[in-house]
Structure 1
Amino acid sequence: MRSIPLTFLARVLSVALLSCATLPATAKTPAKVAAHPPGAAIASAHSLATEAGLDMIRKGGNAFDAAVAVSGMLSVVEPVSSGLGGGGFFLLHDAKSGRDVFVDARETAPESATPAAFLDAKGDLDRDRAQNGPWSAGIPGLPAALVHIAQKYGRLPLSTTLAPAIRIARDGFPVYARLEKGYASRRSVMERYRGTREVFLSDGDPPKVGETFRQPDLARTLELIATRGRDGFYTGETATRLLATVKEEGGRWTPAELSNYRVRERAPLRFDYRGWKVTTAPPPSSGGVALAEILQTASGWDLAKLDPAHRTHVLVEAMRRAYRDRTIYLGDPDFVKVPVSRLTSPDYAAGLRATLHPEKATPSELLPGQPAPLEDDETTHFSIIDAQGNLVSATQTVNLTYGSGLVAPGTGVLLNNEMDDFALKPGTANAFGVMGFEANAPKAGKRMLSSMTPTFMDSPGKLVVIGAPGGSRIITEVLLGMLGYDAGLSAQQVAALPRIHHQWMPDVISAEAGALDPATVRALEAMGHRVNAAESAWGNLQTVAWDKRGNTLEGGTDPRNPTGKADVLPVASAAK
């Protein structure tokens, strides 16, 4: 897809923020709206994944079957972003029962991963161990999620839903620029490991744009999952190879840790915003809590009456406070008490508003940074609606570019480096510049905190599925997308919106080039903000929406990512 000039995007963002205090989505509810979507819509970061999902719909599958196919394909064609060696979050809506469920397939810490294991001789964080090789890898969760969703929610067998991914892994796909560039940035790490060299240097040199990239070992691993389910990955041949590789490279996993991995089904987090019913990610994601805090804090201002600088100021101050709370309070709810109800309360948001000066930035160092008595871009997302009204918003990852860099020989499985998402040393920032304390400290079996924010927005007139990659910036990507939808933008306009971000520490507003005009930057600086107004573009938002009034479907895929695809399958071709 062609890129959209950022000068145009800046105007669109201005329209979105100016409009976000107009009449809410409930103001013009028609007498009659469609009962079901007129087909299926899928948006993902790669055309082969979108096509695989639509093929499952054609075969009589539902959105959940399509999700397995899309996820499996992304695990093949986006090793730079996700894969079987990683994990993810799947937000599902089952139309028949009306039930929403959050499938938590986040990786877990092995018993060996104590905080002390990640410190060097001087007591500082050993970043190489935290981000590269076997010690950086948590126990993978994505294979378990594919099996769980297929068996509990899908109609089709895994042998059908994983068939496209198996075929492309075996036959290959054309190397694209992000894959080549990502390898170049991680080459020194990836070529440490025999299994990685066997996959990525199979023809004697690194992947180049236009070459065909084949992964026969990964095809074999996918076949084992398709035929044996969980046992195709967590026990037997694949597990033996994974365990041997981790040990050979100096790490420590146990067979029990691998075989005992299970996904968790959790209740999603819900809140209201201007006539929208928002359903989103609960802990161990920080995304839903942060969205609720930011939107409810900012709702105290009529944003349409504010000039661009003051609108940005209000949003940034709300972001600052939400990310501070992320740092202090959030972690795996199976291990720590997370004050979700308090942090997402409108009363708590009112308290945060009372600390926000309308004309001056609050230095982040003045917000308490110690526990109170209360808690990269290289990820991928896809969004799905089917003709029954089933929904999937899924974000999956191996964390940083190409994860740990370590492929287990004979499996094609590239392991994640999600251990860096723990607070390995309290108060020390990770690769995304965010830090944490005891709530997110590693413990055996614990799931590291995440920013992944798969989300649904529902109003009487429109239903939206939205999400994005982007490390700690995922939350603000989704936030701006939600504001765009609330302003009446199309799915594609939402995906193309320019981006701003603040995460408490470091104390700086990040903005894509052109997202903030020079006058706005000067006004923000006069308020005391530090602004980096010329950052490279980030993120890869994928969204689909159903207009219930006109009974139409649309999809939006991020123009920053030329491999992405959003497509709609009309009801005549989609199984109901």
Structure 2
Amino acid sequence: MTRRVLPRLLLALSLFVPGLFLPGSILPARAADGGSALAQRPGQAAIASAHRLATDAGFEVLDQGGNAFDAAVAVSAALSVVEPISSGLGGGGFFLLHQAGQGGAGGRDVFIDAREAAPAAATADRYRTADGKLDSDLAENGPWAAAIPGLPAGLVHVAGKYGRLPLSASLAPAIRLARDGFPVYAKLERGYAARREVMERFPGTRAVFLSNGQPPKEGQLLKQPDLAKTLELLAANGFDGFYRGPVAKKLVDGVRAEGGQWTAGDLAAYRVHEREPLRFGYRGWEVVTAPPPSSGGVALAQMMQILAGWDLAKLDDAQRTHLTIEAMRRAFRDRTFYLGDPDFVHVPVDVLTSPYYAAGLRATINPEKATPSDSFSGLPTPLEDEETTHFSIVDADGNRAAVTQTVNLLFGSGLVPPGTGVLLNNEMDDFALQPGQPNAFGVMGYEANAPAPGKRPLSSMTPTFMVSPDHVAVLGTPGGSRIITMVLLGALGFADGLGAQQVAALPRYHHQWMPDVVQAESGAFDPDLAAKLRAMGHTLRLPEDSASGRGSSHTWGNMQTVLWDRRGNVLTGGSDPRNSVGSAEVRATATVAP
């Protein structure tokens, strides 16, 4: 059988079974055309981020005449200082950018891939024990867990190609925060406590986070002078300030001192990639989102186009939730087998995101009954929470940025090479290091996502734009594999007419094919809805079940959204209420149309 047998069968099914292909619901949506009654530019700016100091950094740069892309660099770098639990210079990220056209109408979208890349020495065999099993400690903690960081190169690229200000201006707020310090907040204290054993294995990490031998405490001022110096070198020398020269040497020396095998060549060879975003239509909206090596955009396209076959607003809660879960199940099954770094493997994006393929998947859904995940093949077929952070920006001219960045698990690998202040990621765990074995997020992979020198691990990060004739929405969230389904629920919320803050606060649930369980936040399902879903055959894992040991975590994600209503030229932001230090603000700025 060829690599495209399954999607061709489903495509054929959609063409020959009446009612499966619904042209009105899955043809590409018309983008906003800037009609005479619609605002051409917002005239104000909105930033929603996971920390108010990062939001302030973005506005500081806008007030200097910067645009949304300068602000994105400022917010990203500031989060790298104040949110080491979630992201940093030692990690990577995706920048989804929109350059507004003349007068704010139209324009161009671009996806900046600053995802981490595997060092040359990191092959799958390195992560297996003597009996052939995955060594999770090696994959998640310390030098072998770390891939080559991409975020510094991403900041340089975005500032240099899309910003108006010099990189030094956009990095100035982050440098100040690292040098002068910021107050430790409760989430940072809790996260360190959860990872303390790993963090304190390494002298460079202890030097940053311990004060007189004590871990960070809420309210304490955390200063990071080495990180400030690293940022200063990045600001002064661009790419070479991080990937060559003294910082690069300290990074390599620090990794090798702990038993890893990074080389100067690994760092110098890193490159940012510009990619074409994915686009698809959903009931009058154009959705612009992340392509591979993100799995999120492909899955989002599949789920939303499957669901486009029903008018969800007319369904009761149980029916709508059931159908949404079934769409999640099918998208995650495809994620497991088919997605990886497109520079290394063939990823059948055109097939997987086709409305015809979605129609074929829709035909396999029983509207009244759950489909057991093991009824789909669990073998490769011939087709071929808090960790991570997101921010959303719209500037006064209508430029916009949706940026998701990460170090993977809490505090990444836990390793700070001495003298750098850079906390390294543990993105190697996002590769399929052991085919068919779940990683730290419980998701599996096979050959398409196997590690190789320079290859980028598959990601769930899903920065997304939604554009209708009169609205523009920007959204994204952290949350591991749950990112994809949280963005789905947020996108459906915008399509239902919800506001930015309402979308940020929506309750969340998740299914990822395997294990065959539905997870949900506390209170997401009332008892009646839970009972109806169970009667349909769904296995639920709810916080309310925690007494039996089956519960999931109580809250997920940290969604940051911006919504521009062009009819009345109203700009609003939404910051996830689950996060006490987040901030969504709209302000007048000095930004003027070029």
TM-score normalised per structure 2: 0.91
Return the alpha-carbon distance in structure 2 between the equivalents of residues 437 and 444 of structure 1. Answer: 17
Q: Please give the per-residue CA displacement for 1:15-38, whole angstroms capped at 9, x wherever unaligned.
A: xxxxx99xx9999x9861011112
Q: Report 1:330-479 matches (<5 A).
A: 330-479=339-488
Matched, 1:115 2:157: no
Unaligned residue ranges in structure 2 (runs of 5+): 1-24, 544-552
SS where residue 542 of structure 2 aligns? strand
Matched, 1:487 2:496: yes
Unaligned residue ranges in structure 1 (runs of 5+): 1-19
Return the alpha-carbon distance in structure 1 between the equivalents of residues 72 and 590 of structure 2. Answer: 21
Return the alpha-carbon distance in structure 2 between the equivalents of residues 26 and 90 of structure 1. Answer: 21
Instruction: Tell me if the contact between 2:65 and 2:591 (Cα under 8 Å) persists in the aligned partners.
Output: no
User: How far did residue 575 of structure 1 move?
Assistant: 7.0
SS where residue 545 of structure 1 aligns? strand
Matched, 1:549 2:567: yes
Q: Greater shift after overlay, 430-439 or 517-526?
A: 517-526
Match of 2:303 in 1: 294
User: How far did residue 301 of structure 1 move?
Assistant: 1.9
Match of 1:254 in 2: 263
From 572, 576, 586, the equivalent of 1:558 is 576
Instruction: Tell me if the contact between 2:340 and 2:449 (Cα under 8 Å) persists in the aligned partners.
Output: yes
Q: Please give the per-residue CA displacement for 1:432-452, whole angstroms capped at 9, x wherever unaligned.
A: 000000000000000000000
Q: Please give the per-residue CA displacement for 1:108-153, whole angstroms capped at 9, x wherever unaligned.
A: 0011111110001111100000000000000000000000011111
Q: Greater shift after overlay, 353-362 or 92-101?
A: 92-101
Moved over 3 A (4+): 24-27, 571-576
Matched, 1:318 2:323: no
Q: Please give the per-residue CA displacement for 1:309-342, whole angstroms capped at 9, x wherever unaligned.
A: 1111100000000000000100000000001010
User: How far did residue 572 of structure 1 move?
Assistant: 6.7
Instruction: Tell me if the contact between 1:543 and 1:556 (Cα under 8 Å) persists in the aligned partners.
Output: yes
Return the alpha-carbon distance in structure 2 between the equivalents of residues 182 and 228 of structure 1. Answer: 33
From 84, 93, 96, the equivalent of 1:88 is 93
Match of 1:32 in 2: 37
One-letter amino acid of the structure 1 residue matched with residue 212 of structure 2: D
Match of 1:3 in 2: none
SS where residue 420 of structure 1 aligns? helix
From 535, 549, 557, the equivalent of 1:539 is 557
Q: Please give the per-residue CA displacement for 1:180-228, whole angstroms capped at 9, x wherever unaligned.
A: 0000000000100010001111332000000000000000000000001
Return the alpha-carbon distance in structure 1 between the equivalents of residues 469 and 92 of structure 2. Answer: 34
Q: Please give the per-residue CA displacement for 1:539-572, whole angstroms capped at 9, x wherever unaligned.
A: 0000111110010110000000111001111267
From 36, 40, 48, the equivalent of 2:53 is 48
User: How far did residue 532 of structure 1 move?
Assistant: 1.6
Return the alpha-carbon distance in structure 2 between the equivalents of residues 483 and 566 of structure 1. Answer: 21
Return the alpha-carbon distance in structure 1 between the equivalents of residues 49 and 387 of structure 2. Answer: 14
Matched, 1:569 2:578: no
SS where residue 408 of structure 1 aligns? coil
One-letter amino acid of the structure 1 residue matched with residue 588 of structure 2: P
Instruction: Tell me if the contact between 1:60 and 1:575 (Cα under 8 Å) persists in the aligned partners.
Output: no
Q: Please give the per-residue CA displacement for 1:441-476, whole angstroms capped at 9, x wherever unaligned.
A: 000000000000000001111001111100000011
SS where residue 413 of structure 1 aligns? coil
Instruction: Tell me if the contact between 2:62 and 2:590 (Cα under 8 Å) persists in the aligned partners.
Output: no
Return the alpha-carbon distance in structure 2 between the equivalents of residues 472 and 375 of structure 1. Answer: 21
SS where residue 502 of structure 2 aligns? helix
User: How far did residue 305 of structure 1 move?
Assistant: 2.9
Match of 1:14 in 2: none
Match of 1:142 in 2: 151
Match of 2:229 in 1: 220
Return the alpha-carbon distance in structure 2 between the equivalents of residues 507 and 386 of structure 1. Answer: 42
From 497, 503, 510, the equivalent of 1:501 is 510
Instruction: Tell me if the contact between 1:26 and 1:461 (Cα under 8 Å) persists in the aligned partners.
Output: no
Q: Please give the per-residue CA displacement for 1:64-112, whole angstroms capped at 9, x wherever unaligned.
A: 0000100010000000000000000000111148221100000000111
Return the alpha-carbon distance in structure 2 between the equivalents of residues 565 and 26 of structure 1. Answer: 29
Match of 1:5 in 2: none
Return the alpha-carbon distance in structure 2 between the equivalents of residues 57 and 311 of structure 1. Answer: 42
One-letter amino acid of the structure 2 residue matched with residue 203 of structure 1: N
Return the alpha-carbon distance in structure 2 between the equivalents of residues 127 and 26 of structure 1. Answer: 46
Return the alpha-carbon distance in structure 1 between the equivalents of residues 99 and 250 of structure 2. Answer: 37
Q: Please give the per-residue CA displacement for 1:273-309, whole angstroms capped at 9, x wherever unaligned.
A: 1111111000000011001100111122222332211
User: How far did residue 365 of structure 1 move?
Assistant: 1.1
Q: Greater shift after overlay, 516-525 or 374-383?
A: 374-383
Return the alpha-carbon distance in structure 1 between the equivalents of residues 288 and 373 of structure 2. Answer: 29
One-letter amino acid of the structure 1 residue matched with residue 199 of structure 2: M
SS where residue 586 of structure 2 aligns? strand
Return the alpha-carbon distance in structure 2 between the equivalents of residues 230 and 376 of structure 1. Answer: 31
Instruction: Provide the alpha-carbon RMSD of the alignment.
Output: 1.8
Return the alpha-carbon distance in structure 1 between the equivalents of residues 505 and 187 of structure 2. Answer: 18
Return the alpha-carbon distance in structure 1 between the equivalents of residues 63 and 31 of structure 2. Answer: 34
**Seq. identity, %:** 67
Kindly tell me: are residues 272 and 321 of structure 1, through their superposed partners in 2, closer, same or farther at Cα, counting changes over 3 Å? same
From 156, 164, 169, the equivalent of 1:160 is 169
Instruction: Tell me if the contact between 2:63 and 2:590 (Cα under 8 Å) persists in the aligned partners.
Output: no
Return the alpha-carbon distance in structure 2 between the equivalents of residues 26 and 155 of structure 1. Answer: 27
One-letter amino acid of the structure 1 residue matched with residue 242 of structure 2: F
One-letter amino acid of the structure 2 residue matched with residue 107 of structure 1: E
One-letter amino acid of the structure 2 residue matched with residue 357 of structure 1: N
Return the alpha-carbon distance in structure 2 between the equivalents of residues 241 and 322 of structure 1. Answer: 42
